[in-house]
């Protein structure tokens, strides 16, 4: 059985002793009903992971003894996803699955044909919980960085640092993703890619992106649901850029 995984504040680790508090401690003690001596794994959110044994269960915390420490290696190429805000639970699905698939940062944005509903504080907290739970499920020690929603023109004119900028557009008929990535993939260290809303990007938005150095690319002749397109683009990029290549033993530092 795989070890139970929990996120812990780095400040709550001192030497070989870890103090787990808050909802994570409640989940360990009252939901999972783990016991002293049970093995667990801690993530501190920076990429470090700790193998530990539960020492004591307290009313407000759980004490554990750390027996080993390692650190996730960074991906060959970092992926920065620009995602149009979607309706309902579609955005939550994208956050969950792209976390599992290794996206490094997520930049939500408002678009012409997409949702313009302001983000609530509770929604931001829910998104963060979804990301952390996805990390625990897929054994990812460092969660992706979630940014506050921005207007698309602002995002494409001030993108995160990257080696190549892509915008996936269903009406693109010339450029393929293979052509856009024709430069040897080992020359890339980061890629920023945009996916649109249910109504797709407008021609004006694509033209604006072109002016800012984005290359429009197609996912083929079929019209995909917005959430399907994002997951397909993410998987294709991860494979093409080598992030899904087997990692030799000793992949953790």
Per-residue confidence (pLDDT) for residue 97, from 0 to 100: 97
CB burial string 150-182: b at 16+ within 10 A, e below:
eebbebbeebbebebbbbbbbebeeeebeebbe
Q: Is residue 33 domain-shared with residue 139, that is, in the same domain?
A: no
Per-residue confidence (pLDDT) for residue 174, from 0 to 100: 77
Q: Is residue 135 domain-shared with residue 231, that is, in the same domain?
A: yes
Return the CATH number at 168: 3.40.1280.10
Domain assignment present for residue 96? The answer is yes
Q: Is residue 51 domain-shared with residue 88, that is, in the same domain?
A: no
Q: What is the mean pLDDT of the chain?
A: 89
Domain assignment present for residue 28? The answer is yes
Q: Is residue 27 domain-shared with residue 143, that is, in the same domain?
A: no
Looking at 71, 94, 128, which one is the last position of a domain?
71
Per-residue confidence (pLDDT) for residue 83, from 0 to 100: 97
Per-residue confidence (pLDDT) for residue 130, from 0 to 100: 94
Looking at 32, 54, 71, which one is the last position of a domain?
71
Domain assignment present for residue 198? The answer is yes
Per-residue confidence (pLDDT) for residue 251, from 0 to 100: 47
Q: Is residue 66 domain-shared with residue 109, that is, in the same domain?
A: no
CA angle 211, 197, 153 (to 5 degrees): 30
Looking at 26, 49, 71, which one is the last position of a domain?
71
Task: Give the whole-angstrom CA distance, residue 28 versus residue 25.
Answer: 5
Task: Give the whole-angstrom CA distance, residue 236 versus residue 253.
Answer: 27
Q: Is residue 126 domain-shared with residue 217, that is, in the same domain?
A: yes
DSSP result, 65-108: EEEEEEEBPPPSSEEEEEEE--STTHHHHHHHHHHHTT--EEEE
Per-residue confidence (pLDDT) for residue 172, from 0 to 100: 83
Paired tokens of 204: 């004006």
Instruction: Place 223 in a pLDDT band, splitting at 50, 70 and 90.
Output: confident
DSSP result, 166-216: EEE-TT--S-BHHHHT-S-GGG-SEEEEEE--TT---HHHHHHHHHTTPEE
Q: Is residue 96 domain-shared with residue 58, that is, in the same domain?
A: no
H/E stretch holding 18 reads strand 17-21
* Number of domains within the chain: 2
H/E stretch holding 56 reads strand 48-57
Domain assignment present for residue 135? The answer is yes
Average pLDDT over residues 117-135: 85
**Has residue 2 got a pLDDT over 50?**
yes
Domain assignment present for residue 220? The answer is yes
Domain assignment present for residue 253? The answer is no
Q: Is residue 37 domain-shared with residue 126, that is, in the same domain?
A: no
Domain assignment present for residue 64? The answer is yes
Return the CATH number at 24: 2.40.240.20
Per-residue confidence (pLDDT) for residue 1, from 0 to 100: 45
List, for residues 71-88, the tens digit of each pLDDT value.
888 888 999 999 999 987
Instruction: Place 250 in a pLDDT band, splitting at 50, 70 and 90.
Output: very low
The whole-model pTM stands at 0.86
Range of the domain at 67: 4-71
Using DSSP's 3-state secondary structure scheme, residue 249 falls into coil
Residue 88: burial class (beta carbons within 10 Å; 0-12, 13-18, 19+): exposed
Domain assignment present for residue 39? The answer is yes
């Amino acid at each position: 059985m795989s070890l139970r995984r929990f996120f812990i504040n780095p400040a709550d680790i001192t030497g070989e002793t870890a103090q787990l508090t808050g909802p994570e401690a409640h989940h360990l003690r009252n939901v999972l009903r783990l016991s002293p001596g049970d093995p667990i794994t801690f993530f501190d959110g920076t990429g470090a992971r700790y193998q530990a044994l539960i020492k004591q269960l307290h009313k407000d915390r759980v004490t554990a003894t750390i027996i080993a420490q390692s650190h996730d290696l960074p991906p060959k190429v970092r992926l920065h996803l620009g995602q149009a805000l979607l309706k309902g639970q579609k955005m939550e699905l994208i956050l969950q699955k792209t976390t599992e698939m290794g996206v490094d940062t997520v930049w939500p944005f408002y678009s012409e044909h997409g949702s313009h509903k302001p983000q609530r504080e509770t929604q931001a907290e829910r998104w963060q919980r979804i990301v952390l739970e996805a990390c625990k499920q897929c054994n990812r020690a460092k969660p992706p960085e979630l940014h506050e929603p921005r207007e698309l023109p602002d995002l494409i004119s001030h993108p995160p640092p990257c080696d190549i900028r892509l915008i996936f557009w269903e009406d693109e008929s010339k450029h393929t993703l293979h052509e856009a990535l024709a430069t040897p993939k080992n020359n890339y260290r980061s890629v920023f890619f945009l996916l649109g809303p249910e109504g797709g990007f407008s021609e004006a938005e694509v033209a604006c992106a072109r002016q800012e150095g984005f290359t429009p690319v197609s996912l083929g002749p079929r019209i995909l649901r917005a959430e399907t397109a994002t997951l397909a683009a993410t998987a294709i990029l991860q494979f093409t850029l080598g992030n899904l290549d087997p990692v030799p033993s000793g992949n953790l530092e």
